[in-house]
Amino acid sequence: MAPVFDPPMAQHANAMRVSEPHVADPDVSYRWRRALDLVL
């Protein structure tokens, strides 16, 4: 997945990673990616 740049998020440390946030729980990470796949 290509990174998404959102200018309002520019102050955020992961501004280029808004579409794929880092979460410690692998289940949450998997569900997030799966939800994006279904929506997009």
pLDDT digits (tens, 9 = 90+) for 4-33: 666 665 555 555 555 666 777 889 888 888
Domain boundaries, the chain: 7-39
Predicted local distance difference test score (pLDDT) of residue 39: 81
Q: What HEC string does the chain produce?
A: CCCECCHHHCCCCCCCECCCCCCCCHHHHHHHHHHHHHHC
Q: What is the pLDDT of residue 8?
A: 61
Instruction: Tell me the whole-structure pTM to 2 decimals.
Output: 0.45
